[in-house]
Chains A and B, each alone.
Chain A
């Protein structure tokens, strides 16, 4: 069964077709890279898949279940997690609390107004484990405001991974990172087990290209080319659109 199937998805803002008849079929365990110049509609496609915006037409199917009209919050409960291109974290809290909130989001405990969150040992332990996984265990109790940009990027990923997603959507996980940080995040992504399906938007071809099984090239809201790494890189339309030759 296809992990994530997007069919004939369209969205326009006024006269601008930001997503035009997009089809996408990502198999379980696949690593899919979505590339395309700025304004190609990549992040909008993510927002449509996660339900932050509603499509004008088309459908989104997650493991055989049509979720096109499903509320965004319920998609998280079905195993969809995402990270943001622009850091979207809880700046007043510690790193650990950020990850704990991610865990709590899928737990029925989130409605409980009577118990102390800090005493929920299983949540706190799971939060620490998620931070260990991204190499931030030693600074778990540090306020987020006192961490570097690279560490915040990793917190983004830790929060998504903490939810044990089936489909993980990464929106430019390498954006703004130094060369060393890139290599750290790269190792982190390589280590994600294959039971997680990953769809990743990325500009940094050098770092991202060899992570991908298949690549989708978008331009002006449309899918221009799709295929294996070699096929897409070799395709003349890729050079025309993306590599600017």
Chain B
């Protein structure tokens, strides 16, 4: 455990040091993007990885949270009211998504979430009186919680980091809890779980709500990061991108979605500055991941390290040498 604690401590230090170590604002912003998408990917991973339910509609939830907060701000509400009410609206919509899609699992579940996500996109695009259609909604200011202004890139990074760490801690606790174990059980043997006395539907429903909460929080961060929201953020492509983050990093792991989010954001923003056809690059990398590490980057890397460890021929911990019998 100590090795693990050291690793966590070093990672924390590195994350806190980012805005001080990186002088270019552009890269601080990229780091904020990675963290906010990591929250999104963690939320999606609760369903995809631990519940075994693949959702293609999460950008819908993400977008509802963004739009709700943007609409309330545009209507003259303060940040605190907008965020709380926006979250509540997004959670109600999540409950609706869950109630409709959890009637089935597998392919049907994917198709229902896809359809629900498309409805959200359609509303964002066409319900012009609320969403301002294709023009989107601008948000003039970022909030200043406890008097700390988030208007600067470094300030915003700090706030995003706090939210990100809370999300990671939340998922880590959730996964190790009895409820988390039950959720994994419904993924692997739903029939057995019912026979053992579990309410499989209700377990999936609450997991969906937790997933929706993290997704909504990410959506609100996204709104404040861009200070703008448009239907593009709600499109199917955004849902698919979230899914790519989860699957490329490793669904059902804590670190996987974070690594996946970093990978996608970096390729999208950084590589696109050098490679014109960056979409091609992104696609090629995913093909390589699927071919060489179908379980995702994080579990795949763990497997490679273990294999290498064995190949080096590190001797197994030897059995203790027999203690000589005390002579009479």
Q: Which of B176, B200, B206, B210 contacts A116 (CB 8 A)?
A: B176
B51 to chain A, nearest CB (A): 13
Whether B195 contacts A76 by the Cβ 8 Å rule is: yes
A101–B185 Cα distance when bound, in Å, is 8
Whether A163 contacts B173 by the Cβ 8 Å rule is: no
Contact flag A110-B179 (CB < 8 Å), given A76-B197, A92-B188, A105-B197: yes
Contact flag A104-B181 (CB < 8 Å), given A73-B199, A91-B188, A114-B173: yes
A105 to chain B, nearest CB (A): 3
* Interface size range on B against A: 20 to 34
Whether A90 contacts B177 by the Cβ 8 Å rule is: no
Question: Counting CB contacts under 8 A, is A170 at the interface?
Answer: no
Whether A104 contacts B176 by the Cβ 8 Å rule is: no
Residue of B nearest to A109 (CB): B178
Whether A117 contacts B193 by the Cβ 8 Å rule is: no
A74–B199 Cα distance when bound, in Å, is 9
Q: Which of A74, A88, A114, A163 contacts B191 (CB 8 A)?
A: A88
A63-90: which have CB < 8 Å to B? 72-74, 76-77, 81-82, 84, 88-90
Whether A112 contacts B189 by the Cβ 8 Å rule is: no
A contacts with B, residue count (CB < 8 A):
37
Please indicate the chain A residues that have their CB under 8 angstroms from the CB of B196 in the complex: 73, 76, 101-102, 105-106, 159, 163
Please indicate the chain A residues that have their CB under 8 angstroms from the CB of B108 in the complex: none
Whether B178 contacts A115 by the Cβ 8 Å rule is: yes
Residue of B nearest to A50 (CB): B195
Please indicate the chain A residues that have their CB under 8 angstroms from the CB of B182 in the complex: 101, 104, 110
Whether B178 contacts A112 by the Cβ 8 Å rule is: yes
Whether A88 contacts B180 by the Cβ 8 Å rule is: no
Whether B181 contacts A114 by the Cβ 8 Å rule is: no
Question: Counting CB contacts under 8 A, is A113 at the interface?
Answer: yes
A77–B197 Cα distance when bound, in Å, is 6
A212 to chain B, nearest CB (A): 23
A100–B188 Cα distance when bound, in Å, is 15
Whether B195 contacts A82 by the Cβ 8 Å rule is: yes
Whether B176 contacts A52 by the Cβ 8 Å rule is: no
Contact flag A117-B181 (CB < 8 Å), given A91-B188, A92-B188: yes
Question: Counting CB contacts under 8 A, is A118 at the interface?
Answer: yes
Whether B181 contacts A84 by the Cβ 8 Å rule is: no
Q: Which of A52, A101, A106 contacts B181 (CB 8 A)?
A: A101
Please indicate the chain A residues that have their CB under 8 angstroms from the CB of B179 in the complex: 110-113
Residue of B nearest to A162 (CB): B196
Contact flag A72-B195 (CB < 8 Å), given A110-B179, A113-B179, A113-B180: yes
A59–B182 Cα distance when bound, in Å, is 31
B295 to chain A, nearest CB (A): 12
B140 to chain A, nearest CB (A): 38
Question: Counting CB contacts under 8 A, is A120 at the interface?
Answer: yes
Question: Counting CB contacts under 8 A, is B192 at the interface?
Answer: yes
Whether B178 contacts A88 by the Cβ 8 Å rule is: no
A101–B188 Cα distance when bound, in Å, is 12
Starting from the known contacts A113-B210, A117-B176, 12 additional A-B residue pairs (CB-CB under 8 Å) come to A72-B194, A73-B200, A92-B184, A92-B188, A97-B181, A106-B197, A109-B178, A113-B174, A113-B178, A113-B206, A159-B196, A163-B196
Q: Which residues of A line the B interface, CB within 8 A?
A: 50, 52, 72-74, 76-77, 81-82, 84, 88-93, 97, 100-102, 104-107, 109-118, 120, 159, 163
A-B pairs, top 3 by smallest CB distance, nearest first, are: A76-B197, A105-B196, A105-B197
Q: Which residues of B line the A interface, CB within 8 A?
A: 173-174, 176-182, 184-185, 188-189, 191-200, 206, 210
